[in-house]
Amino acid sequence: MTIKTVLRMGDARLLKVAEPVGRYDSAELHSLLDDMRDTMQALNGAGLAAPQIDVGLRVVIFGVALNARYPDAETVPETVLINPVITVLDDKTEAGWEGCLSVPGLRGMVSRPCNIRYQGFDEYGALIDRTVSGFHARVVQHECDHLDGILYPMRMGDMSQFGYTQELFPGQEMQEE
């Protein structure tokens, strides 16, 4: 089990554009995913992109399980997504709170497309092709932004809606992506 250090905002490595994965089902790719899963679990994250642990490849993982304390929160299936392509399906956007393991302890309101299709591959090279909306769509867009060097504060319009999680949501546990 290897828990990697997650790079934090301000580190120039987070701003680089990641390279496509050329080969699936390789020992290197499985090892990277083991490290990503271990790191995400240790930090109780909802998602993680390879560049956040200083690996410049187009690989993200995400997943949000049912939480007994917040039974109405939307869930997202555990997913490995490699070389993703996102297609925005219509003009509808929605504002929602986001957090990020690279911006720990803070949350900000980000407006994003609501309805998307995403395509890519799992670690074995099997095609993933899903049409999603709402929170699932937000998580995918947040993670894939990391592959292009974009952190969620760079997408914010209203900086008055940016602050410390403990002040914005006292007493609530919140996951970061």
Q: Which residues are catalytic?
A: 143
Residue among 100 and 140 whose Cβ is closer to Ni ion: 100
- Report in angstroms how near the CB of residue 25 gets to Ni ion at its nearest: 26
Query: Least CB distance from residue 140 to Ni ion, whole Å?
Result: 12
**Distance, CA of 53 to CA of 48 (rounded, Å):** 9
Report helix, strand or coil for 39: helix
* Sites of contact with Ni ion (CB under 5 A): 100, 177
Q: Cβ 104 to Ni ion, closest distance in Å?
A: 10
Instruction: Give the residue among 62, 8, 10, 9 at the shortest CA–CA distance from 33.
Output: 62
Give CA–CA dist 107/101, Å, rounded: 11
Measured from the CB atom, is 113 or 146 closer to Ni ion? 146
Token pair of 117 as six digits? 């299709």
Q: Which is nearer to Ni ion, 85 or 154 (CB)?
A: 154
Phi and psi for 61 in degrees, rounded to 5? Answer: -130, 150
> Which residues, listed in sequence order, are joined to residue 110 by a DSSP beta bridge?
96
Cα dihedral 134, 138, 144, 150 sign: positive
Number of residue whose CB is nearest Ni ion: 100
- Measured from the CB atom, is 100 or 106 closer to Ni ion? 100
Q: Please, what is the minimum distance in Å from the beta carbon of residue 100 to Ni ion?
A: 3
- CA-based nearest residue to 99, from 6, 3, 5: 6
